[in-house]
Amino acid sequence: MTSALPLCIIGAGSIGRRHIQMATESPAIQLTAVVEPHPETRAALAGQGLPMVASIDDVPTDTRACIVATPTPDHCPTSLAALDRGWAVLVEKPIADTLDNARAVARTAADKGLPLITGHHRRCHPFVQAAREALREIGPLVGLQGLWSLRKHDSYYDVPWRRLPGAGPLATNLSHEIDLLNVFAGLPVEVTALTSSAARGLEIEDTASLAFRFESGALGSFLISDAGASPWAFEAATAENPAIAPSGEDYIRITGTLGALAFPSLTRWGASGPGEVEWSRPLLRHDAPTFPRVDPLRVQIDRFAACLDSGADDVLCQPRDAIAALEMTLATALSGLTQRPVRRGEVPGHFKGVLT
């Protein structure tokens, strides 16, 4: 990289502040502005020496890129406004609230020749990339079972947009899981979902039980909940998010014809000798490998800066994958509402998680 990338951050909420920390720590970034409409938040952060502005119109003109960390329904208008200014965009996940909006943003970025990355930052962990290799060791994928269950603090839902369609554990949390599945096994082609709001009583779901079919014929199931307390979730397993207590417990189990893999530890079971792998013979346990510990948001922002120079990146989430993750996330919501399986291609472009 030749010089630090002049970048602004739009939205100084919970994830925006983590991006601010990464931007101020990274030599690859020169933070030109933080856009935050809320006057008190703005004043508090200005007091810490941050370059706060109230509107995207007040961002210094030498800015070349931005991180969009606003509520999900705002991702599309703000990303379009940023692309219109000629900025490269790293937009938080999901890429947008609807497929129509996601495609409009992707089209605009492509027309302008500007990078558009979506913040599926888990890809930036070394063990996520290593999981692809480990999966080759267990033979063709047969099935996968995941359990993501963390009880969010009740005040999390004091923020109005988080109680409405566009938020909820499907849009907010499952979208990461679907992107991970895509990295591991390709995108599911069909989903059947049961959703429930019984625990919190909000308009959006708090819990969902999902069954997936992959193109290869492999199947998967997932229970996701932000009401049920448990040690089983990506963030608890990996300690990647300082706001979430670590547990170190695996939360996904994957089976193949030749063995099995637990994620994220990558503990693997495989043949204990020559000959057929079958149920009378014990499986040999291969203990979890170790990986360098990274902050995935820091790796993501550094790779984003680098790809403005190089024009390419094979780890970060490009528009096609981001739209695919959104499609299957919305498919789960649609399946829950209609109580029928939903296949790829069946989610209406305007669907945002509620039937109108």
Ligand X SMILES: NC(=O)C1=CN([C@@H]2O[C@H](COP(=O)(O)OP(=O)(O)OC[C@H]3O[C@@H](n4cnc5c(N)ncnc54)[C@H](OP(=O)(O)O)[C@@H]3O)[C@@H](O)[C@H]2O)C=CC1
Ligand Y SMILES: O=C1CO[C@H](CO)[C@@H](O)[C@@H]1O
Which residues of the shown chain bind ligand Y in the complex (CB under 6 A)? 172-173, 176, 235, 241, 244
Closest separation between CB of residue 14 and ligand X, Å?
Answer: 4
Beta carbons within 10 angstroms of residue 283's beta carbon: 15
69 binds ligand X (CB under 6 A): yes
Report the DSSP pairing between strands 5-10 and 65-68: parallel
Residue from 38, 107, 136, 350 binding ligand X (CB under 6 A): 38
Q: Among 11-19, 179-187, 221-229, 258-266, which window interacts with ligand X (CB under 6 A)?
A: 11-19
Interface stretch with ligand X, choices 64-72, 209-217, 265-273, 279-287 (CB under 6 A): 64-72
Stretch near ligand X under the rule CB under 6 A, chosen from 12-20, 107-115, 143-151, 214-222: 12-20
Asked if residue 166 lies in contact with residue 350, where contact means CB atoms within 8 angstroms, the answer is no
Q: Which helix (H) or strand (E) holds 263?
A: strand 259-263
In the complex with ligand X, which residue's Cβ is closer, 14 or 339?
14
Select 50 or 261, whichever has its Cβ closest to ligand X: 50
CA dihedral 77, 82, 88, 91 (to 10 degrees): -40
Q: Does 101 bind ligand X (CB under 6 A)?
A: no
Q: 16 is in the binding site of which of ligand Y, ligand X, none (Cβ under 5 to 8 A by kind)?
A: ligand X
How far apart CA 122 and CA 148 sit, in angstroms, is: 15
| 184 secondary structure, DSSP code | H
Phi, psi at 338, each rounded to 5°: -95, -10
Among ligand Y, ligand X, none, what does residue 37 contact (CB within 5–8 Å per kind)?
A: ligand X
Among 1, 110, 159, 312, binds ligand X (CB under 6 A): 159
Provide, rounded to whole angstroms, the least separation between the CB of residue 178 and ligand Y: 12
Which amino acid belongs to residue 22?
Answer: M
d(C-alpha 128, C-alpha 67), whole Å: 23
Stretch that binds ligand X, among 5-13, 250-258, 311-319, 345-353 (CB under 6 A): 5-13
Record the tokens describing residue 355, joined without a space.
Answer: 């039937």
Using CB under 6 A, pick the residue from 32, 63, 78, 207 that binds ligand X. Answer: 78
CA distance to 200, 246, 268, per residue, from 168 (Å) = 11, 22, 33
CB 10 within 8 A of CB 78: yes
What minimum distance in Å lies between the beta carbon of 8 and ligand X? 10
Residue nearest to ligand Y (CB): 241
Q: Minimal distance in Å, beta carbon 235 to ligand Y?
A: 5
Span of 65-73, 144-152, 329-337, 347-355 interacting with ligand X by CB under 6 A: 65-73
Residue 235 contact, options ligand X, ligand Y, none, Cβ 5-8 Å cut-off depending on partner type: ligand Y
CB contact at 8 A, 304 and 316: yes
Interaction partner, residue 173 (ligand Y, ligand X, none; CB < 5-8 Å by kind): ligand Y
- Looking at this protein, which amino acid is placed at residue 82? A
Q: Rule CB under 6 A: say whether 270 interacts with ligand X.
A: no
CA dihedral 301, 306, 310, 313 (to 10 degrees): -40
What DSSP string runs through 298-318? HHHHHHHHHHHHHS--SSSB-
**71 in contact with ligand X (CB under 6 A):** yes
The amino acid at 317: C
Tokens of 322: 């981001």
Give which of ligand X, ligand Y, none residue 264 binds (C-beta under 5 to 8 Å, depending on kind).
none
Q: Is 14 in the site for ligand X (CB under 6 A)?
A: yes
- Under the criterion CB under 6 A, does residue 15 sit at the interface with ligand X? yes
Q: Is 239 left (phi over 0), alpha (psi -120 to 50) or beta?
A: left
| Binding-site ranges for ligand X (CB under 6 A) | 10-16, 35-38, 41, 69-72, 74, 78, 92-93, 119, 121, 159, 172
